[in-house]
């Protein structure tokens, strides 16, 4: 069998991060090749390099046995590579056919030749069982259908090698089956498919070959028939088990936050959370493990009060806050370290000192009266955060967009920790920061816990979860599927629960 894609020794550095470290990838023609690994393992970077979106610092890219250096996706498309991104790039107000031909319109004179486009798309649809009504407006379609449009889009542009970035992340189980049927048809027609995934049961069901990445390195290339989901999970997270520190329990009988049987159905009618219930005591750290996109984000938004719950109730320090506004909840002490600091955590054009009180701007310590912000007190607070959490910034007046990502993250974490929040919801608090600062954040969290903080910790870093948590919850498809004792669980078991491989 010939080789469709051969990446050798790919290295890609970003400031402070080694995203890919001498990665090798060999994809044979006509196979379905899965690339799996944790968040931040370097999967997306690798695919962006193959697709010409980024240039590797070192290493070679060979497509169909010819060495290539792509300087743009255009050049990758020209040799038959197509990519479906996780976030679809479709115009909602155009029809299916208009979306597909957008940017590659067949023309007759100065007019778009819709007849030719239509017949070509029919052929494509029939050949691969990609069923679509070409005249539907994209805005009205389901996610699965939109994904099919993206696939047809790249086939229409002549792709023979298809890259799919976490295609199943946005799909419900039935849609996943449909997608896999389509992929098998494409394979039968001789297409090569590379897909990124971290749901292990899916990977084992569809892939012919699996490459596992861990911390920017390719650590294994295996066949699905030779491995179990447990083996894969272990390869993904690394076999070395962090020794959970023996610490005396500081759990108290005061409940910081309690969630009682909440469910959430989004606007499209999809159930995002189903009957989720747990409590976090003061002095306790409850960890939430789960593959990203299994309801953790919705859980956080529900507790914060941004997204309404359809059923159930949320309690802070014993008060039912289900009907409270975000501000009321924040004033009741709720702290929040967002998963996406740029989106939810920072005002990028605003100076450091203004950001250092964001979310706490109604606290009396930052106000000089009911109406006015106390600038001096806020700046003192900012200096305190900068010093204690080692935020590297020229000063409190520097706009936050000038700070590096790690320093922005330290600012967000420091802000929530220095304002004595309780409870605190922390989503990936150490994502993107260096090892030293990571340890400082952990130490800070432990100290706060000893002082009575109730912490809900959502993380993709299993070491962090097992090392810090008093209780571990596992979320899968919007439900809590397991409650585990972090002192006894192994990453291997945890991985199995996370991917649904263990019942």
Toward another protein, which CB reaches closer, 228 or 364?
364
Residue 255, classified by CB atoms within 10 Å of its CB into exposed (0-12), middle (13-18) or buried (19+), is middle
Q: Could you tell me which residues come within 8 angstroms of residue 310 by beta carbon, excluding any fewer than 6 positions away?
A: 263, 264, 265
Choose among 209, 176, 212: nearest CA to 30: 209
Paired tokens of 319? 């008060």
Toward another protein, which CB reaches closer, 99 or 437?
437
Toward another protein, which CB reaches closer, 123 or 340?
340
Paired tokens of 446? 């432990």
Please report how close the Cβ of residue 352 comes to another protein at its closest, in angstroms. 10
Tell me how far apart the alpha carbons of residues 144 and 172 are, in angstroms, rounded to a whole number: 8
With b for 16 or more beta-carbon neighbours within 10 A and e for fewer, the 442-481 pattern comes to: eebbbebbeebbbbbbbbbbbebbbbbbbbbbbbbbbbbb
Tokens 């010093």: give the residue: 387
Paired tokens of 139? 């805005």
Please report how close the Cβ of residue 140 comes to another protein at its closest, in angstroms. 18
Three-state SS at 284: coil
Please report how close the Cβ of residue 142 comes to another protein at its closest, in angstroms. 22
What one-character DSSP code corresponds to residue 403? S
Please report how close the Cβ of residue 311 comes to another protein at its closest, in angstroms. 23
Toward another protein, which CB reaches closer, 261 or 323?
323
Tell me how far apart the alpha carbons of residues 119 and 129 are, in angstroms, rounded to a whole number: 15
Toward another protein, which CB reaches closer, 294 or 356?
356
Toward another protein, which CB reaches closer, 9 or 349?
349
Tell me how far apart the alpha carbons of residues 38 and 235 are, in angstroms, rounded to a whole number: 10
Strand 209-214 relative to strand 192-196, pairing = unpaired
User: Which residues sit at the interface with another protein, rule CB under 8 A?
Assistant: 304, 306, 325-331, 336, 338, 343-350, 354, 358-362, 367, 370-373, 375, 392-394, 398-399, 401-404, 407
Toward another protein, which CB reaches closer, 167 or 345?
345
Tell me how far apart the alpha carbons of residues 108 and 44 are, in angstroms, rounded to a whole number: 39
Please report how close the Cβ of residue 399 comes to another protein at its closest, in angstroms. 6
Toward another protein, which CB reaches closer, 160 or 360?
360
Please report how close the Cβ of residue 371 comes to another protein at its closest, in angstroms. 5
C-alpha dihedral, 43 to 45 to 49 to 55, nearest 10°: -150
Please report how close the Cβ of residue 350 comes to another protein at its closest, in angstroms. 5
Please report how close the Cβ of residue 330 comes to another protein at its closest, in angstroms. 4
Task: Give the number of other CB atoms < 10 A from CB of residue 193.
Answer: 25
């Amino acid at each position: 069998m010939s080789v469709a894609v051969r990446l050798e020794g790919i290295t890609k550095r970003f400031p402070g991060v080694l995203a890919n470290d001498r990665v090798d990838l060999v994809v044979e023609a006509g196979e379905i090749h899965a690339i799996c690994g944790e968040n931040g393992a370097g999967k997306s970077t690798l695919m962006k390099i193959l697709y010409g979106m980024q240039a590797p610092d070192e290493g070679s890219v060979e497509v169909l046995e010819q060495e290539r250096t792509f300087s743009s996706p255009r050049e990758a498309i020209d040799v038959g590579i197509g990519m479906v991104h996780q976030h679809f790039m479709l115009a909602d107000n155009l029809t299916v056919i208009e979306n597909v031909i957008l940017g590659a319109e067949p023309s007759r004179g100065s007019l778009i030749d819709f007849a030719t486009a239509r017949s070509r798309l029919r052929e494509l649809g029939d050949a691969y069982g990609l069923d679509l009504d070409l005249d539907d407006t994209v805005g009205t379609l389901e996610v699965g259908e939109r994904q099919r449009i993206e696939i047809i889009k790249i086939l229409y542009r002549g792709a023979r090698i298809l890259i799919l970035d976490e295609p199943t992340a946005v799909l419900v189980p039935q849609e996943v089956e449909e997608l896999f049927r389509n992929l098998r048809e494409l394979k039968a027609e001789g297409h090569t498919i590379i897909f990124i995934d971290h749901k292990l049961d899916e990977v084992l069901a569809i892939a012919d070959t699996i490459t596992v990445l861990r911390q920017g390195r390719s650590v294994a290339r295996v066949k699905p028939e030779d491995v179990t989901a447990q083996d894969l999970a272990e390869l993904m997270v690394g076999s070395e088990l962090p020794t959970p520190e023996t610490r005396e329990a500081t759990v108290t009988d005061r409940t910081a936050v309690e969630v009682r049987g909440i469910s959430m159905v989004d606007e499209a009618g999809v159930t995002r959370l189903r009957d989720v219930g747990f409590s976090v005591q003061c002095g306790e750290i409850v960890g939430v493990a789960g593959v990203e996109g299994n309801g953790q984000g919705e859980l956080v938004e529900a507790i914060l009060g941004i997204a309404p719950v359809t059923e159930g109730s949320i309690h802070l320090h014993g008060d039912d806050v289900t009907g409270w506004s975000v501000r009321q909840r924040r004033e009741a002490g709720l702290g929040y370290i967002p998963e996406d600091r740029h989106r939810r955590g920072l005002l990028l054009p605003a100076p450091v000192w203004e950001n250092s009180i964001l979310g706490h701007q109604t606290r009396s310590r930052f106000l000089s009266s009911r109406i006015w912000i106390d600038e001096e007190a806020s700046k003192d607070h900012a200096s305190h955060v900068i010093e204690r959490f080692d935020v590297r910034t020229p000063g409190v007046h520097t706009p936050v967009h000038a700070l590096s990502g790690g320093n922005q993250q330290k600012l967000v974490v420091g802000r929530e920790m220095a304002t004595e929040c309780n409870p605190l919801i922390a989503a990936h608090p150490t994502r993107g920061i260096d090892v030293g600062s990571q340890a400082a954040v952990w130490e800070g969290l432990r100290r706060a816990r000893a002082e009575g903080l109730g912490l809900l910790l959502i993380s993709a870093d299993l070491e962090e979860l097992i090392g810090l948590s008093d209780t571990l919850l596992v979320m899968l498809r919007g439900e809590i599927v397991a409650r585990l004792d972090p002192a006894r669980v192994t990453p291997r078991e945890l991985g199995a629960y996370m991917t649904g491989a263990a019942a």
